[in-house]
Structure 1
Amino acid sequence: MSAPKDIETPIEDRAQEQHFVAPLAELESGTTKRTWNQTLSVLISGVALFSDGYNIQIAGYTNTVMAKLYPHALTTTMKARLSNSILIGDIFGMLLFGLCADRLGRRWGIVGCTFFLVLGVTLATAAHGKTPEGMLWMIVIARGVAGLGAGGEYAVCTTSAVEAANETAGLRKKRGFFVVSATNTAIISGFVGSAIVFLIVLAAYGGKPHEGVWRICFGIGIVLPLTIFIFRMRMVDSTLYQKHGIARKAFPYKLALKRYWKPLFGCSFAWFLYDTVIYPFNLLAPTLAAGFNSKATLLQSNGWGALINFFALPGCILGSLLIDRLGPRQTYAFGMVMVAIFGFAIGGAMEPLRTGGTGAFAAFVVLFGLFQSFLSVGPGNNNFLVSSESFPTPVRGQFVGLAAAIGKAGAAVGTQVYPLIIARFPTQIKGHQAMFCIGSATCLLCAVIVMTTIPDRRDQLEDEDLEFRKYLEENGWDTSDMGSHNEIVSSTPPNEKEDLKP
């Protein structure tokens, strides 16, 4: 009986081939079971986004208090500055720390993000000035610094969580669920947590506006990122980054853009469209609720707004259960279509809902809650996932950061444009109708972009890493020093390795 063909190959030649790329189907080496430590590392990689969600959303609630305390200083322009300062910081943080995550390592990116976030929130909490205008300007600057850290978390936490969820076959089977739990669910939980904290603090002050309300609410945001900082300091870079990262000065940006321009465009534009919808609707939730009762107190209007925003959390959970079954981009598009359906329904029925009494108000809350919920089922959950799974490890942090930054630009556009749209209509009801109809049409466009430009996920992230490495080599790029150690899984099955021994 003749020996197998591959055994006939000279041992010296086989030894030289073992360092090269393995067939994609044979990358499932090592343990396939998921351990609690590995699961915990995935969650810790991203759970700091809870503090980002809290610190971003708390501004919307504290603005209602500041408007009562400083009516002359807190003009419409200053209110926009307070809301947008953290968004601008987010954009710079996403770009800066996305770069740091790829060039210096995931761990150092996390350390830098935490530093700027804590510094900015501390400065905002302690803000003072000779005039209310001076104090508000200090808060604007401080929240911009905090945004630098919060934005960086989007790029660093997402890449860290996705790569940690790729360590074993057991984790990969539920990668969508774990990554969503560590990213969007954490952010939405921060949104909900900010509402609960704000309502408790406001109630402690008798429902009356007081300087202590916004200072305490800001100050709690300092504690949150520090609680897990010690755990995150002990993290190490992922196996994928150690094997495929590019830390040297030269970087193949031109080749990377040539290969991945289409998914980069799709992820960025979809995130942009989503943020043009979600941010203005979140900020205007208390205003929309208050429109049903002009006599609502500060506590009541914020309470209804908090209830509406709470609906996003069960949407996160539902979406996380669908991702690994339907696929990220399919779940993304499904969520967007459902948002459009509920949005058109609210927009078309806004007038009878506003004038139909208590029962109609309850129907509005449910419909708007479902609108918010499916924003989480689709884009809220999957922006992080599709943006990180569409790119290889060497550029993942930078491309995710760029997509998220373009998304945040959409948030700034949306928060500026929607109030202008509402103001152009003769009544507030007509303006809110237009807001829901335009937002719903935007969601349908987003669903089309997702299904036509974003690729289907690959079960094993290293598949794309190896394809990218091969692409670089075919285009004359030296890949010999990629990774902190050149560890490519051998293509030789274990039983054949024994036969290769001299």
Structure 2
Amino acid sequence: MKFPWSGKVQLEPTTGENAKDSNVIERKIGLSKVGTIFASGASLFSDGYANAAIGPAGSIIKTYIYPDKFLKGSQNGSLLSSMAFAGIIVGQLSFGYISDKIGRKFGMLLCTGIVFVFSALQAASKGPGEQGTINALIAYRFFCGIGIGGEYPTGSVAAAESTENPGIKKNSQQRLFVLATNTMIDFAFVISYFVCLVCLWIFGLHHLNAVWRITLGLGCVPPLFLLYFRLKMVEPDAYKHNSMKNAPIPYLLLIKRYWLRLAAVSITWFLYDWITYPFGIYATSITDVVIPNGTLYETIGWGCLINFFYVPGTVVGAFVVDFIGPKYCMITGLCLQAIFGFALSGAYDKLVPNHIAGFAIMYGLFLSFGELGPGNCLGLLASKAIGPTAARGQLYGIAAAVGKVGAFIGTYTFPQIQASFGDVGTYGYNTGPFWLGSGLAIASAVITLIFIPNIKPDEMIREDAAFREYLAANGYDVSQIGIKDELFQVSVQDVSEGVGADADDKAIKA
């Protein structure tokens, strides 16, 4: 792709065995090979930031800015925390089709623009009166969510496909995908709380409007940074060779072959997001119980510390997944998460309030093992185990959307679930969600063990070949598959008309 002002500079690096980068920055990050994986998946940093930032920013809005609008019985609190998930679901489903039928790159660029615009608008939320401002913020979060959701079937899928491009080591394919996607989300969880804390240090308690607006508004920075690199990308090799962009997708055959895998991954993703997102977003609420009289600084600081425990889980898991495979890595993480969740519930009275550090460590390990397992592996399994390249965006989008339904339900109902275990401050209120979350982790491990296959290096290449054979056996014209090179078609036509006769004669004589 070239712009008028680019002259002879080729914006898109070549891919494959002879990939080249056009400047020193690209050579440093290896844009044409490994860097392409990160340029594709790293926008999920925006997903993690936008979803987590509403935790501390929302606490400021609810408690200090508009407390009268978030009284008991008001829907503002639940909508503010969960509306982005509704937008994400819309984005995941709609961009799944765009990713498969128009292209991964087009979808990624469109998502980048949406996230940038509406992240900035969140910071400038304003309406008639206090409720009008809250309504504007809720609406902007919904539209921002559409762009974030679109990153899953476009950016994540492109990252997964790029891990199997030539030049990528086979024993690092899964690790690179994890580091480019889920690790980005988890780092964003930490950064969002830390940014809010830094803003609080700068502006103080007397300028909290600036604190929450800047915290949310800085979510527009990551997509802007990635725009340059995404403009220079090309479609992954797998998409070029196996796309049904210009051919009808045989949905009945697709469902017949992959429905069980799709259902299993979708259910486990639902359960995982149902556990993870409420616990992450409500970290400030949980620490309010642990630190009843804590200041705003302490509450946000503890939230930052607790969210940091996502990071070692995803990083360690990234280096484990290539050795035992995503299936068994996921089961291991789920079982360990359940163990620590049950232990945390049983020891709660001994940890709180006299051993707050012990509570934070136990809670952090509960979250960390969730990242080592399903956090890292669900995206891998959704990309590489439940369908072919031709419909990967749509299948991934469906599985991820089901997961976000779990996140939406979890964040919307979390206060009611806590209350159902007992009154505020009681043992049941404080520990009930951990009992429930640990039980769901065990259920997810059982589903994974029975219904989800393990995957090996170059899994998508093998599955695409098997899918072609399956289609051919069922009467589908597989010659339609793939993006045809127009230059190649012209050369074939020229040769068939005799233009290449001289070259053929020379070859025969040689």
Where does the alignment leave 5 or more consecutive residues of structure 1 unmatched?
Answer: 1-28, 488-500
Residues 1:365 and 2:360 aligned together: yes
Q: CA deviation at 1:353?
A: 1.6
Name the % identity.
Answer: 35
Cα distance between partner residues in 1 of 2:345 and 2:473: 54
Cα distance between partner residues in 1 of 2:109 and 2:102: 11
- In structure 1, the residue matched to 2:503 is none
- In structure 1, the residue matched to 2:100 is 102
Letter in 2 for 1:89: G
Residues 1:165 and 2:163 aligned together: yes
Q: Secondary structure at the match of 1:174?
A: helix
| Cα offsets for 1:95-140 (capped at 9, x unmatched) | 1111111111110110111121122212212111121100110111
Letter in 2 for 1:244: N
Cα distance between partner residues in 1 of 2:370 and 2:128: 43
Letter in 2 for 1:202: L
| Cα offsets for 1:142-199 (capped at 9, x unmatched) | 1111000001111211111111110126433211110001100011111111111110
- In structure 2, the residue matched to 1:232 is 230
Instruction: Give the TM-score normalised by structure 1.
Output: 0.88
- In structure 2, the residue matched to 1:60 is 55
Cα distance between partner residues in 2 of 1:455 and 1:427: 43
Query: Size of the alignment, in residue pairs?
Result: 457
Conserved? CA contact 2:51–2:281, under 8 Å: no
What are the within-5 Å matches in structure 2 for residues 490-501 of structure 1? none
Letter in 2 for 1:69: I
- In structure 2, the residue matched to 1:485 is 484
Q: CA deviation at 1:427?
A: 4.5
Cα distance between partner residues in 2 of 1:256 and 1:432: 45
- In structure 1, the residue matched to 2:291 is 293
Conserved? CA contact 2:246–2:483, under 8 Å: no
Residues 1:388 and 2:386 aligned together: no
- In structure 1, the residue matched to 2:70 is 74
Residues 1:185 and 2:183 aligned together: yes
Residues 1:323 and 2:321 aligned together: yes
- In structure 2, the residue matched to 1:374 is 369
Cα distance between partner residues in 1 of 2:270 and 2:284: 24
Q: CA deviation at 1:248?
A: 2.9
Cα distance between partner residues in 2 of 1:402 and 1:459: 24
- In structure 2, the residue matched to 1:47 is 42
Cα distance between partner residues in 2 of 1:253 and 1:114: 29
- In structure 2, the residue matched to 1:399 is 395
Q: CA deviation at 1:49?
A: 1.2
- In structure 2, the residue matched to 1:19 is none
- In structure 2, the residue matched to 1:465 is 464
What are the within-5 Å matches in structure 2 for residues 111-260 of structure 1? 111-168=109-166, 170-208=168-206, 210-248=208-246, 250-260=248-258
Residues 1:408 and 2:404 aligned together: yes
Q: CA deviation at 1:316?
A: 0.8
| Cα offsets for 1:291-337 (capped at 9, x unmatched) | 12221001101111110111000111100010000100110110000
Q: CA deviation at 1:30?
A: 6.1
Aligned mate of 2:273, from 261, 272, 275: 275
Q: Secondary structure at the match of 1:291?
A: helix
- Greater shift, 455-464 or 443-452, is seen at 455-464
Cα distance between partner residues in 2 of 1:172 and 1:207: 52
Cα distance between partner residues in 1 of 2:292 and 2:462: 58
Letter in 2 for 1:426: D
Cα distance between partner residues in 1 of 2:368 and 2:248: 44
Q: CA deviation at 1:203?
A: 1.5
Conserved? CA contact 1:123–1:142, under 8 Å: yes
Conserved? CA contact 1:66–1:209, under 8 Å: no
Task: After the TM superposition, list the runs of 4 or more consecutive aligned residues in structure 1 that deviate by more than 3 angstroms.
Answer: 29-32, 34-37
Conserved? CA contact 2:44–2:184, under 8 Å: yes
| Cα offsets for 1:413-467 (capped at 9, x unmatched) | 1123332122121343311211101100000000111111111113222111011
Q: CA deviation at 1:250?
A: 2.4
Aligned mate of 1:421, from 417, 421, 434: 417
Instruction: Give the TM-score normalised by structure 2.
Output: 0.86
Cα distance between partner residues in 2 of 1:169 and 1:471: 29
Conserved? CA contact 1:207–1:299, under 8 Å: no
